[in-house]
Structure 1
Amino acid sequence: MTVEFKSDRSRLPDRELVEAIVCMANAEGGELWLGVEDDGQPTGLHTEHQQLAGLAGLVAARTSPSLAVTVTPVQLGGVAVARIAVPKAQGEVSTTTGVYLRRRLKSDGTPECVAMLPHDRASRASSFGLMDASTQIVAGATLADLDPLERERLRQCVQQYGGDRALLELDDEALDGALGLTARLSDGSGRAPTLTGLLLIGREPALRELVPTHEFAFQVLAREAVRFNEFRRFPLLKAMDWLETNFRPYNPEREMQIGLFRVPVPQVEMGAFREALANALVHRDYHRLGAVHVRLDDEGLTISNPGGLVDGVTLANLLTTEPRPRNRMLADAMKRVGMVERSGRGVDKIYRGMLRFGRPEPDYRRTSATDVVLRLATVDADEAFLKLVVEQEGRQGRELPIDSLIALATLRDLKRLSTDELAAHIQREPVQAKKTLESLVEAGLAQAHGNARGRTYTLAMGVYKADGDKAAYTRQLGFSSLQHEQLVLNYVRQHGRIQRADVMDLCRLTEGQAKDLLKRLKAEGKLTLEGAGRAAAYVPGEEPKGA
């Protein structure tokens, strides 16, 4: 997707060069190598392209808006070629002759340039936040296409889910205006439904006719046999109610006693399910055909929606980036109704619904440029971990911060953790990761080991005692200092010498810990240092008499 080779042996026409650059800019950007064959063989620049000084200006002059590329001469295989760095266009760009192209991958994985159709352009603009399709009046829609029964459902949702109660005091017209369900016509002749209005309270026939991209499916597969498979085009509030009602029979729940309370333990936490479902329906790309799929199989629950992550949101910052809804008006309406997390941190709620029960964190790894795919594992809950979380939240009188919950889950899985390792899991800076771990130490849930340089963390001994598995605490701490010493001395006896890197690998110690261990063994006469620098190694020493 991000690398293109163009032969220049017969002088690539300027039109083809500019169109290839526009094509890349309207996708992910990348590098175009001029003077390189499709198989990667450099054959050099045509004589008319040897002077590259004006190439960037040519591209800027023949694109609209002007595209700034960077041209760098490169010597490859004894010939001169040009590396043209193409930025990702913030919006859409065309040639000055009005040609809109975008780059995509074919079914065989090779790239191609295709025409950028109007719905592609609108979809791209919405992914950059340059336009909000949910605020637009739907062509052909009238106020008669809004369903009074769905408007009443909306009011009931406000009461049931703790939405903005000020909405309950408004009449129908004021309610529609407050939530952006209708907008004034450009000629001032009245109001008409927006996309938000049709999606929330539209009549089903109107949705099928006027919003053909809206569709969702619920599928249940058991050992590859289809137990449930239905497609619907309900308005969103009815859709969520229908999906939740049909999902509950396949979501068994039991209870466990924790102190004085009985805590429900469902296969999938319903708050996380509802939030993931709402995210898929609200943030999908309504310019693209394709259904929102809710699929339950033997391995877990998968919720997917057409339209990749919006610009600026990646799998590496899902937990920390500011909310960037593709359909802002629709998202705001759903927040005010109470159907989604009002802070915009719905991903946190999904994570909490999984990790609190000791299950794996939500899996977004199958997400692509065209689809967001969320996988929730339906494995058995870790009752000991749930008990730990519930009791700690009871002591604090509030929910554990999501970073602390991730840290506890990661400590349980990895046994030992550094601040850098946790930083990657919570998608924050190491400073914040250290603060999170130290707060767990203060709460008696974690234990710190080592100095500031090589400091690591494990779950506290009390956690394992409460779980009835005292041996696990010993296992997680690894070898004692005496065992480390014996490992090193046995290694030296077998191999005649040992270096610091060998000690780090053998005993799973940090560089500082390995250095301290070797220094102590040398002081005790058990090892002798030979050489210096990278060649330094320790050999058997002569222990002092009486040692």
Structure 2
Amino acid sequence: MEFRETSQIELKSELNDSVKKEILAFANTNGGKIYIGVDDHGNVIGLKNAQQDLESISNMIRDSIRPDISMHTSATIIEAEQKEIIVIEVSKGTKRPYHLSSKGLRPSGVFVRHGITSSPASEEAIRQMIIDSDGNTFEKTRCLKQDLSFEYAKNVFQEKGLPFKEAQYRTLGMADEDGYFTNLGLLLSDQCEHSIKCAIYQGTSKLEFRDRKEFHGSILKQLAEAYEYINLQNKVESTFEGLSRVEIPDYPYFAIRESLINAVVHRDYSFGGSILVHVFEDRIEIVSIGGLVLGLTQKDIFLGVSESRNRNLANCFYRLKLIESYGTGIQRIKESYRSFRVDPEFHISDNAFVVVLPNTRYKKDLKSNEEKVLEIIGRKERVARRELEKELGLSKSSVTIILNKLLDEGFIVQKGNARNTVYQLVKGSF
């Protein structure tokens, strides 16, 4: 019998730890055979204690490789040139990527076969093997990170009187049948890689920031902190109806809450971008990555038809009573504006879903900032820049731009210098 290394045959002169790597490489690629007791040149050396080595191989496969690969391997003692050697037959596994239990789903623990060598798999190759084995549903596929903690999620579940232990991980879909954390587990974990970004702008455009913040950690934590942050911008006006005091916020609380929850639950997490929240003086825009689920139309969702992209995540939110019923979110956002003269807007593209919540108390001023500046200067005869900043509620840079434009157009003149600079109307210009 002639022995020669090929893409599906590996030769080993003795049993050692490197055999694990070869078993993994064959299981993760196209299968193959490992002959132990034959050197690299095909010379039969034989094994001094083949039976003991056979038992060691069995323990190695059982204890060092995950997931369980025993059904895809077999090891037997054969005779070659009147010497005992061992042949390990490995078929391509159905739960790839197989890995060293001590290393996890990292390149250092996952190997593939290239020609006659076995080498670490790239992260992209590992992801592709997971998709091939688990399907392309993001929340159900095994997570590359397995060292996860759930302190925040645990507290939330316990506050709701719900158990949250290892027994519940599989029930919720956070772990698969082999005990691996799924991407849903990653989303709920303290190590979640996605985020929510909030930005507050001066005025009604994105020209100038007033504040910005990014929220990390479990998506449950991000949701709570983002909602609190947005509500700090939600001014409340108090009025009286008879003897009762009535508080009217800029934005209905339910509309903010529901829009944010919908963005978290229904976004496409296979993309790495963040959920974006833009807060303007006249509106809030919440941008979620991922358009409608395949098969649904905009008309369908307005009628209350529900098909979640992340079913297990939606179920977790339902158990936590963050979602009260499926398919009613958009309708209830619209209903929360029923008593106002403005309506929320929904803009949907192939890869994004945008909810626009109008400020219920915003009064649009038809006068431009240039007209306001001319009016103030005309009323006061001469005005310093700082007075304009204070009266208009604009920044130094914004007022400077307006003044320079009016100077260039000949509407005003500048007098004095440095701190004594003032602006006056050109006679007959306004």
TM-score under structure 1 length normalisation: 0.39
TM-score under structure 2 length normalisation: 0.49
- Choose 1 or 2 for highest CA Rg: 2
